[in-house]
Amino acid sequence: MTILKAGLVKPLHAAALVTGASTWLSQRQPARRIVMFHGVGLGELSASAFEAGLAWLAKRFEVVRLDDMVRAIADGAPSRPRGELALTFDDGLRNHCEVAYPILSMMFLAGLPSFTTFLRNAEIRSTSESISNGLRLARTEATRLNRPVSFTLAGSGNPGWAINIFNPVTGLLLQPPLQSYSRFEVGKSARVVTSPGTAVAVTFNGLGRIVSPSPIATPNLQQVDVASTIDGEARTLRIFVDDLHGIRACDPDPALRALSPPDARAC
């Protein structure tokens, strides 16, 4: 039965598109929709298929910025009659710039600066997730190994990081790292600002708690702000790592804190 259903999915989708059933159903519900793209020009989504898909969406929906959609929802505004649709691009991949952006520039989004903002925000989001996951992994490995484990940023604003076992006798990090991350894995335009300003690392003990005071030369990392090296409207994200907040990523935008009820994304 599962194989039969899987075999029917594509033909049914194709029939719905050809007959106009998809359009009719979507227009009956002028809701807000978000379409997320990953790789463009690769695998099942070729450049021509991406272009055709955008043309289809532009004819049937009101394409808006994601920030505008979120703001409208927060304000309780109804969706536009055609239905609103926002485009997002996951992971800030290179083909977003090399394939997706030229196509968008030639079509209905020609010259729209918000697409560049989408790319910057995708890089910031992916980098924030990577740092948060790295911190959690360091804490998990410390408890699993019952040994001190350090999470260390590359420094100088570079969001790359490494996780190493810390030797309390020698005061050195054991090599090679248990795991590491390079800024080039999801996008090279992200940068980090740490608090305290000279902090680059935090060490967890065998119970998963932060070792305090810091066993290394610099103070414990308590906060990481992830932003873009490119000027624009990209949103900064913040990561806390301390006993008060635990390991938590949030949005420091004051407008989110001012919403009622409070926005779960707010710091």
CATH assignment at residue 98: 3.20.20.370
Last residue of a domain, one of 63, 86, 112: 112
Residues 242, 139, single domain; the answer is: yes
Read off the pTM. 0.62
Distances (CA, A) of 189 to 116, 125, 164, 233: 12, 12, 25, 14
Same domain for 95 and 177? no
Domain-embedded: residue 2: no
User: How many domains does the chain divide into?
Assistant: 2
Residue 13 domain-assigned (yes or no): no
In angstroms, the CA 121 to CA 123 distance is 5
The values of phi and psi at residue 244, to 5°, are -75, -50
pLDDT at 187: 62
In terms of domains, do 175 and 209 share one? yes
Domain membership of residue 159 (yes or no) is: yes
Q: For residue 237, what are the domain limits? A: 124-257
* Sequential pLDDT tens for the chain (267 residues): 455 555 665 666 666 555 666 666 666 666 788 888 877 777 667 877 777 777 777 767 777 777 778 888 887 877 777 678 888 777 666 666 677 767 766 655 444 445 566 667 778 888 999 999 999 999 999 999 999 999 999 999 999 999 999 999 999 999 999 999 988 776 678 899 999 999 999 999 999 999 999 998 899 999 999 998 876 667 899 999 998 889 999 999 888 888 888 778 888
**Is 33 found in the same domain as 100?**
yes
Rounded to 10°, the helix 21-28/2-19 angle is 80
Q: Which of 90, 112, 134 is at the close of a domain?
A: 112
My answer on whether 69 and 145 are in the same domain is: no
Same domain, 104 and 139: no
68 and 153 together in one domain: no
Which residues 6+ apart lie within 8 Å of 216 measured at CB?
A: 150, 166, 171, 201, 203
Indicate whether 88 and 155 sit together in one domain. no
Asked whether residue 29 is assigned to any structural domain, the reply reads yes
